Every structure is written in structure tokens, then in C-alpha cells.
Amino acid sequence: MNWQFNFIKNQSTKVGFFLLLGTVFSGFTGLGLSSVQAHEQQHHPSSADHKMVTIPPGQPIPKVDLIVHPDARQGWNLELKLTDFKLTPENVNQAMGSHQEGHVHLYINGKKVTRIYGNWYYLPELPPGRHEIRVGLTGNSHEMLMVQDQEIGDTEMIEVPK
């Protein structure tokens, strides 16, 4: 699904200012998105480094439907509709207890950005161009859940005009 957005010049100026301010602030505090990405890459350099677990025969196969909603102000609200899968942030980094619980990994343009522990996630403004937004279901200890040699996940595209 493709979404296109046009921002009023004043809104773009405000957004640019706050993004610049956030970048400067994150440089001093180390709390910016780049720090999150660096932390995730340090602990999970790429999805290829994650253990893959195939759902055993006879077990319910979890599903995720990613729906991208434009935010009224800026960015997007990502909605995750889950079937046969429960988000269990309280069990993160523990041994896999069930193939039907865990969390979601969010990838933008093929790079892991963060973990998602709830059914909604706010995604701020992206630079102009086409962006692939992908989510994948993972077990509590970050195992990529698979079925028939395919990661269980969903992908949507966002087109941001120049």
C-alpha cells in the first residue's frame, strides 16, 4: 500500500527545526534514534544473526498484518493486527516458552530499527523517497519465527514526496 503526504511549508520548517534540535540533543545525551539503532545493531547486528525457529506441525501459525495509518500531524502510526500471537514484553530475553508469544522487530529499508511490544507504534517523518516498512514476529529470546522457510511478517511501502 502506498501513502503520499504533502506538508505545508510552515509545518515542514517546524518539523525540520525539531528534528535538528533532537539530533543536537541526542548528540549530547546519547538518547537519539541512532543510539537505539546502534544498541540494537550491537546486540543484534542483522536478522541473519538471529536464530530461526520453524513453527512445528500441528501448532497454530501466528500471523501479523501491518497497517500503516498517516498521522494527522506528521509521520505514520503503525498498527499490528496479530492472530495466534501474544506480545509478552515481560518475557523478553527469556527462553522461548511458546511459538505463539514474543515481540515484533521493525525494519525500515532492510535495517532493524527497534523492537515493538504493543499493537501500535508511532513512526516519525521519513526523508523523501520510497521506504519499505517491514515487521517480523520473534520469540522472547529473539528467534525469528518461520513457516515453510519464510519469516512470519508483513511489509508495506511508504512513498514520501520531495
CATH code: domain of residue 119: 2.60.40.10
Cβ proximity of 124 and 75 under 8 Å: yes
**Residue ranges of the alpha helices (H) in the chain?**
9-29, 33-43
pLDDT digits (tens, 9 = 90+) for 105-118: 999 999 999 999 99
Q: How many domains does the chain have?
A: 1
Listed as ranges, residues in the chain with pLDDT below 50 are 1-48
CB atoms within 10 A of CB 80: 20
Which one-letter amino acid corresponds to residue 39?
A: H
- Distance CA(48)–CA(138), nearest Å, equals 13
In a domain, 138, yes or no: yes
DSSP state of 118: S
- Domain containing 149 equals 52-160
In a domain, 93, yes or no: yes
pLDDT at 155: 98
pLDDT at 76: 94
pLDDT at 50: 66
pLDDT digits (tens, 9 = 90+) for 71-80: 999 999 999 9
